[in-house]
Structure 1
Amino acid sequence: MTILQLIQKPQLRGAEMFATQLSNELTGLGHEVMVVALFPGASELPCKGTFIRLDRPIGKRWFDYEGWKALANLIKIHHVDVVQCNAGDTLKFAVFSQLFCGWKVPIIARNASMVSAYIQNPLIKWLNRWLYSRTQAIVSVSHLAAKDLNQLFPETKVKTTVIPIGINQQPFTSVAWKNTPPTAFQIVHVGGFSFEKNHHGLLSIFEQWLKRCPDSHLHLIGDGPMRAEIEQAVAKNNLTDTISFYGFSKDALHYMHQADVVVLPSIIEGLPGVVLEAMYAKTPVIAYNVGGISEVIQNGATGYLVEKGDEQGFVEALEKVYKNDQDEMIKNAYDLVVEHYTNPVLAQHFVGVYSKVLK
């Protein structure tokens, strides 16, 4: 079959990275796949197949008839069988294109987060209910994310399937730390600088941890709208010598592999790929218990799970990693990921969803 993966823009973010990795797996299974980016972006995604940049102006996304027509032409020219929308404005863009241009290809929405945290306004809730009504299937990243969506829009339950995010198995390479000796206790956080990633909370946790272990360094990998604000907070709190910023990095997995611990104190998540990558990288992971994280982290068995907002509990988990042997937990986590969360396995599940909507 021919599958069109719609992404927001070329960026090294979870939704776009997974859509690209999934596309590569689907291509390997013999399907024709194209990844279509709606808006301009500077990053190069690791796409092995057809990658198309529409470069539509993001300010016109509510009334971009030319963009909707361009998507419709791609669907017609390439005889697309199914369109998968991956986060951001992709579902809205596809539905409007279908409505105004008249194409009939099934639309699959990928739900990668806890939508109720973002949909508060009654008008926005009505719009999203209508958008989901135009889909033939919804693939949710975790059981909790699916439950959240189905409670907000009960009519979506009958067409929701849970398929988690996956990881690519690959060898690790050596990378250089910034501004810190290799003997320091290396703490890595990977994630965009947005409110749900809770960087301010992370800084608070790190300050408390430094009182116990001054020879520690926090590495922040990622970029985003709040980066300048966090950099200012780091300078204001005199943490510049103990925190390094890396921006977007294709080597994030390798940094995690070299780290002593990976931390994720997010306040909103679906099922973040960084948790799975840390487990695959054989590095202990500590995360707040939000979204579907508890579906992969069993506290003390495959990682450390801390209740949201419990900064003291987070510091105590860091203490456990610092002082105790984590070999058994690391093995449990690695085995879980390799058995259930690799992209070749998940690609087969997606093919099952596509085939079902095409019957």
Structure 2
Amino acid sequence: MVVQVLNSGDLRGGEVFALRLANELGFRKFITRFVILDGVGHRALRSAGYVSDVNVRLPRVFRWIWASRRIARQSRLVGKKKFIVQANIGDTLWAGVLASLFIGKKRMALVYRHGNISSYWLSGSRVRRCIYRWLFEQCDVIATLSPETHTDLKEIFPGLRVEVCEIPNGVPFPKGHGAVRPSLCREVILHVGAFVPEKNHAGLLRVFSNVLRARPEAELWLVGEGTEMLAAQQLADELKIAPKVFFLGRRDDVPELMSQAKVFLLPSFVEGQPAVVIEAMLMSLPVVAYDVGSLRSMLGDDRGVLVPARDEHRAAQEVVKLLGANSAEWNSMCSNAKVYAEDRYAMSVVADKFAELYERLAVAR
């Protein structure tokens, strides 16, 4: 049995991956259960496995304790067998470590899925680094997403006494993958992401405003919801670009939207290894992104366009260049990205790696 510990009951990046992984592992005879730190589990999670969630507001420490006790309760279902707990980024690590202390290493193996650049949030705090070194060393395995997260973890915590491996994000091949892209008449720039500060929608709109000066026929499609949406709509009005910006809200047809776009734009301040970029690569949609998180290993070697973080002028230049690129240049980049994504990020391949890891940990003493 595998217990996936999630930060939220909403279907966001880490939660979507855990759901997809549970579905793939179901074909390999693994039983998955979900423990959620905050909120009510989405119906899709409930269809994939038993969900234990909390729908009342509690201080963070109490949520960690509550979740660790729920994990301990799941251990009764497997008797004396060893089971796997996977903490998926953020506060889930605390809940996983507390559960390990309650249950013991002989009954439970703890995997931490580490998706962020540690130096973003641990630099300059010696006490915090000491705390997280201890937390990490309570894990059996830390599974990093990319070469960037792997190297950064080793540099921040030299001599870390825990096994560290690299298992990337994975996505199922989207509908329309492999199809020949239609000849596009409209110059659509697409962005998919929650309206939260780290996604930098204000910068995105300023980049698009610069693009319009060179490509007045361009359109910006924004998919997602969140606390920053109203501010983004107001900024679009202030920049006098509102007629060219379309706020599409939450959508279930992102692959179809990708097939109609010419560029995917992602000027985030912070990213892990975004699944939406993998989907764009699989859909032969060229990506322009800030060089943060794991995006360098994803988009390097002419698989996309990386721009120094916060360089809005350069980002606009690269978008304009792609909108006006000839078909040979455009197809070359798309082909490189698609082949790389198919080989590295297929959900079935990633699930095989996790299954091998779980099976090894389940029999380890």
Q: Same fold (TM over 0.5)?
A: yes
> Match for 1:188 among 187, 190, 198?
190
Alignment-derived partner of residue 163 in structure 2: 159
Are the structure 2 counterparts of residues 92 and 225 from structure 1 closer, same or farther at C-alpha, using a change threshold of 3 Å? farther
- Match status 1:136 vs 2:135: no
Find the residue that maps to 2:299 and give its secondary structure. Answer: coil
Gaps of at least 5 residues in structure 1 are 174-181
Alignment-derived partner of residue 207 in structure 1: 209
What CA distance in whole angstroms lies between the structure 2 residues aligned with 1:239 and 1:71? Answer: 50
- Give per-residue Cα distances to partners, 1:251-293, cap 9 Å, x unaligned: 2233222211111112222221111110111111111222221
In the TM superposition, residue 47 of structure 1 has moved relative to its aligned partner by: 6.7
In the TM superposition, residue 55 of structure 1 has moved relative to its aligned partner by: 1.7
Are the structure 2 counterparts of residues 170 and 268 from structure 1 closer, same or farther at C-alpha, using a change threshold of 3 Å? closer
In the TM superposition, residue 227 of structure 1 has moved relative to its aligned partner by: 2.8
- Give per-residue Cα distances to partners, 1:52-110, cap 9 Å, x unaligned: 04125453330244443222112322456100111232111222233346574111100
In the TM superposition, residue 164 of structure 1 has moved relative to its aligned partner by: 0.9
Find the residue that maps to 1:8 and give its secondary structure. Answer: strand
What CA distance in whole angstroms lies between the structure 2 residues aligned with 1:51 and 1:286? Answer: 39
Amino acid at match of 2:320: E
- Give per-residue Cα distances to partners, 1:135-164, cap 9 Å, x unaligned: 110001111111112222224375111111
What CA distance in whole angstroms lies between the structure 2 residues aligned with 1:303 and 1:185? Answer: 18
Q: Is the 8 A contact 2:4 2:85 kept in 1?
A: yes
- Match status 1:150 vs 2:151: no
Q: Is the 8 A contact 1:205 1:315 kept in 2?
A: yes
In the TM superposition, residue 341 of structure 1 has moved relative to its aligned partner by: 1.2
Q: Is the 8 A contact 1:11 1:44 kept in 2?
A: no
Find the residue that maps to 1:267 and give its secondary structure. Answer: coil
In the TM superposition, residue 309 of structure 1 has moved relative to its aligned partner by: 2.4
Find the residue that maps to 2:191 and give its secondary structure. Answer: strand
Q: Is the 8 A contact 2:222 2:248 kept in 1?
A: yes
What CA distance in whole angstroms lies between the structure 1 residues aligned with 2:46 and 2:337? Answer: 28
Are the structure 2 counterparts of residues 106 and 56 from structure 1 closer, same or farther at C-alpha, using a change threshold of 3 Å? farther
In the TM superposition, residue 48 of structure 1 has moved relative to its aligned partner by: 5.2
Q: Is the 8 A contact 1:140 1:146 kept in 2?
A: yes
In the TM superposition, residue 134 of structure 1 has moved relative to its aligned partner by: 1.2
Alignment-derived partner of residue 109 in structure 1: 112
In the TM superposition, residue 183 of structure 1 has moved relative to its aligned partner by: 4.8
- Give per-residue Cα distances to partners, 1:34-57, cap 9 Å, x unaligned: 233232147443675314041254
Alignment-derived partner of residue 263 in structure 2: 261
Alignment-derived partner of residue 231 in structure 2: 229
Are the structure 2 counterparts of residues 109 and 119 from structure 1 closer, same or farther at C-alpha, using a change threshold of 3 Å? same
Amino acid at match of 1:140: T
> Match for 1:170 among 156, 161, 174?
174
Find the residue that maps to 2:259 and give its secondary structure. Answer: helix
In the TM superposition, residue 5 of structure 1 has moved relative to its aligned partner by: 1.3
- Give per-residue Cα distances to partners, 1:289-344, cap 9 Å, x unaligned: 22221212135x32222222222221221122111221222122111111221010
Alignment-derived partner of residue 344 in structure 2: 340
Amino acid at match of 1:85: A
- Match status 1:349 vs 2:348: no
What CA distance in whole angstroms lies between the structure 1 residues aligned with 2:305 and 2:333? Answer: 9
TM-score of the aligned structures, taking structure 2 as reference length: 0.87
Comparing 289-298 and 57-66, the one that deviates more = 57-66
What CA distance in whole angstroms lies between the structure 2 residues aligned with 1:162 and 1:66? Answer: 30
Alignment-derived partner of residue 177 in structure 1: none
Comparing 59-68 and 25-34, the one that deviates more = 59-68
Find the residue that maps to 1:38 and give its secondary structure. Answer: strand
Q: Is the 8 A contact 1:188 1:261 kept in 2?
A: yes
Find the residue that maps to 1:296 and give its secondary structure. Answer: helix
What CA distance in whole angstroms lies between the structure 2 residues aligned with 1:272 and 1:53? Answer: 26
Are the structure 2 counterparts of residues 202 and 288 from structure 1 closer, same or farther at C-alpha, using a change threshold of 3 Å? same
What CA distance in whole angstroms lies between the structure 2 residues aligned with 1:255 and 1:292? Answer: 24
Alignment-derived partner of residue 294 in structure 1: 296
Are the structure 2 counterparts of residues 71 and 58 from structure 1 closer, same or farther at C-alpha, using a change threshold of 3 Å? farther
Alignment-derived partner of residue 17 in structure 2: 18
Q: Is the 8 A contact 1:286 1:304 kept in 2?
A: yes
What CA distance in whole angstroms lies between the structure 2 residues aligned with 1:127 and 1:329? Answer: 43
Alignment-derived partner of residue 60 in structure 1: 59
Q: Is the 8 A contact 1:39 1:53 kept in 2?
A: no
Gaps of at least 5 residues in structure 2 are 178-183
Alignment-derived partner of residue 69 in structure 2: 69
Are the structure 2 counterparts of residues 157 and 186 from structure 1 closer, same or farther at C-alpha, using a change threshold of 3 Å? farther
> Match for 1:91 among 87, 90, 93?
93
What CA distance in whole angstroms lies between the structure 1 residues aligned with 2:143 and 2:254? Answer: 26
